[in-house]
Structure 1
């Protein structure tokens, strides 16, 4: 039995990966899936809707892989730098996730990310990391005069800086993230 939704998803993922968001259109996807344009809209409301479904799945997969690869007992500075590095490498090596950094596409992706409650979909990572922060606070490895939610918001702010790397200067960007992480952690662990 043909699974049209999966066919659309798979064809869309392949085309977005090859051509990017901007250079892929619904007719390309429907042609690859062997369906009519009307059929596409029975499953997805727009190209953006399909892309975000794919983006969310890829993002969730990346975050789960990262969580499985880390050692939560590691020193906070080393662990957070590793998390940031793995996330950045994962985002940049996946053509779907890399679109997050595409200036021409970012506002559309961000809007759909918020509408689809994207952060809620990766709450497992934030909840897991929040537990690590609480553990560090209990062990005296991290300041406990700042609640763990605020600390998570600080880390989110560092990650969000990635969307401004061109404004910051590409030649400085990797070092900027590294320094921001280091300086922030030194302030949180002293």
Structure 2
């Protein structure tokens, strides 16, 4: 990228993290980047266009952070707890990544522009590596497909978004219990 494009990209990244997509305008991005609004459109078609590019980079950066912190040879229960904890920790307050779940329009754009959006997502790609390892080690129960295993873990993400609706004083214990239960269903 050339200098102006880099400055625009970096400014948009900062603003999307601080304000989210809705509360960031192209004029705000251009002002922070120190360029005219017209310069923005020389490099990016729309605010959505730059957002999708930033989302992809953010997703890759977070995925790399998580994979660098985990040991796939760890005990499965401990490993899944650690992965889920890292995913929630690194993505729960990240306004860029939250747009995937909270903004259907952006979710659709990301999916359209990234034909492998689901497969490349933070949760899916991390779990697929782990599931492949478990299959290779022959510790997955017969009849458990990768799709079924991923669906079970995806349910934890949905649960996390609705944790305020759950009547418990110890959400972390509930999450640990569910992870342990899922692994009892999945692993031999």
Q: TM-score, structure 2 length as denominator?
A: 0.79
Gap change, CA 1:121 and 1:41, over 3 Å in 2: farther
Quote the residue 1:134 is aligned against: 135
8 Å Cα contact 1:100/1:163 also seen in 2: no
Cα shift at 1:93:
4.4
| Among candidates 96, 110, 133, match of residue 107 of structure 2 | 110
- 1:129 counterpart SS class: helix
- RMSD over aligned CA atoms reads 2.9
Match in the other structure for 1:148? 146
TM-score using structure 1 length: 0.78
User: How far is the alpha carbon of 1:18 from its aligned partner?
Assistant: 2.4
SS in 2 for 1:35: coil
Q: How does 1:1-190 map to 2 (within 5 A)?
A: 2-100=2-100, 103=102, 106-117=103-114, 118-122=117-121, 124-136=125-137, 138=138, 140=139, 142-166=140-164, 168=166, 174-190=172-188
In structure 2, runs of 5+ residues without a counterpart are: none
Unpaired stretches in structure 1, ≥5 consecutive residues? none
Q: Aligned partners of 1:174 and 1:35: how far apart in 2?
A: 46
**Corresponding residue SS for 1:73:** coil
Q: 2:20, 2:96 within 8 Å by CA — same for their partners in 1?
A: yes
Deviations along 1:10-49, whole A, 9 cap, x unmatched?
0101112222222111111112223332332232232222
Aligned residues of 2:19 and 2:95 also touching (Cα < 8 A): no
Is the alpha carbon distance of 1:63 and 1:15 closer, same or farther for their aligned partners in structure 2, counting shifts above 3 Å? same
Shift of 1:113: 2.6
- Which secondary structure does the structure 1 equivalent of 2:92 belong to? helix
